[in-house]
Structure 1
Amino acid sequence: MSTEPRINDRIRVPEVRLVGPKGEQVGIVRVEDALRLAAENDLDLVEVAPMARPPVAKLMDYGKFKYEAAQKVRDARKNQSNTVTKEMKLRLKIDAHDYETKKGHVVRFLKAGDKVKITIMFRGREQSRPELGMQLLQRLAEDVAEFGFVEAAPKQDGRNMLMVLGPTKKKTEAKVDQQSDRERRMAERAQKQQEEKAAEAELRAQHTTVAAKKKRGPADNMDPDIDL
């Protein structure tokens, strides 16, 4: 069954509630008169509310309308980003440096709008101390609370303990923030380069002045009216 609206002579009703091309309300008119107005203005008569009584029809350029609608759909698909689930594995006896490194990766993933599945792998007798794994996961969740939240609470899964962190910002918002950060860094870099060029130009000017003074001969300071 077609979802396309009826247009022009496919509209089989005696009268319509007509809307002008700029959204102005024309009123209830015979469909023949509406078709005549459409032809006079080189537009189409498009039925936009077929279930109304009488149906609502609008004067528009239907080809242009369809093109713009399709363009909006393409743009929406282009801007749509699916959330990706990253994974980070930890050991129960992780040292401070390794913990900070992996926490940094988790923060980077969350800032990019991705979920992160944290896995603690237990070895040997460590399996009898699940509370230590719980403490480590809770510590990590608190450390990255600015960027993510606990979406799936820690749970034991065989020799592993799992927790899922969700980003506080959506993927699209994260992309906007990343673009803003890139633009800010580029602006700062350009400003720094301009300042460096200005400093170099000033330094060259100072060297030129000093060099010019050094080139003066002994007669440069003598009175030109004195006969030698």
Structure 2
Amino acid sequence: MSKKEEKVLINEEIVDLTDRVRLVDGEGEPKIVDSSKALEIAYNKGLDLVLVAPNANPPVAKVMDYGKYKYEQEKKKKEAKKKQVKIEVKEIKFTSKIQENDINYKVKHIKEFLEKGKHVKLRVFLRGRELATPEKGFEVINKVWDMISDVAEKQNEPKLEGNYINLLVTPIKKKIKK
């Protein structure tokens, strides 16, 4: 159980916590009863007493099948997780001394990734003395950007970070294919 989830109190745990509860049993209006009486009502129906609103005054308890309730909560979590969009970031590396045909080859792959809706991180690796003149790396990044600007948007400007010049590009919204 994660820290975000609060432990749901059921049956005797509610009796230990509070004297009175607002009971919701599916029959008419909620009523305020002793917690031991509420537990007795739940047991007579063959169900559990579950604390649904512990911060209310008095706390709200509901008569229900706890196993079924827990199952439905898990099912809702799984459904929510399925609906989440996962953004995949592909990384393409260059050097400042890359040849034209190699750039063209990598640009072809970048365009394929962008058409599939993936984000692409362009990285120019600077080695040794190349760090003294990062302009050549920026030239490579800008050259690649000129070749893909029709299918991509810049998330940020090219930036020197350590030995790399980085640029994150994303697909233009209307060009995404699945």
TM-score under structure 2 length normalisation? 0.64
Paired residue secondary structure (1:4)? coil
| 1:54 paired residue among 46, 54, 58 | 58
1:67 is aligned to 2:71: yes
What do residues 121-171 of structure 1 show as CA deviations (whole Å, max 9, x unaligned)?
Answer: 5798x777643432331343352474453446332755xx521315459xx
Paired residue secondary structure (2:142)? helix
Q: How does 1:201-212 map to 2 (within 5 A)?
A: none
| Structure with greater Cα Rg | 1
* Two-structure CA RMSD over aligned residues (Å): 4.1
Shift of 1:55: 0.9
1:87 is aligned to 2:92: yes
Paired residue secondary structure (2:165)? strand
Identity %: 30
Paired residue secondary structure (2:57)? coil
1:136 is aligned to 2:140: yes
1:11 is aligned to 2:7: no
Instruction: Number of aligned residue pairs: give it.
Output: 167
What do residues 193-222 of structure 1 show as CA deviations (whole Å, max 9, x unaligned)?
Answer: xxxxxxxxxxxxxxxxxxxxxxxxxxxxxx
Which runs of no fewer than 5 residues in structure 2 stay unpaired? none
| 1:118 paired residue among 117, 123, 128 | 123
Shift of 1:56: 1.4
Whether the 8 Å contact between 2:160 and 2:166 is mirrored in structure 1 is: yes
Whether the 8 Å contact between 1:92 and 1:122 is mirrored in structure 2 is: no
* C-alpha separation in 2, matches of 1:112 and 1:30: 58
* C-alpha separation in 1, matches of 2:36 and 2:13: 12
TM-score under structure 1 length normalisation? 0.53
Which runs of no fewer than 5 residues in structure 1 stay unpaired? 170-176, 182-228
Shift of 1:89: 1.7
- Partner in structure 2 of residue 162 of structure 1: 165
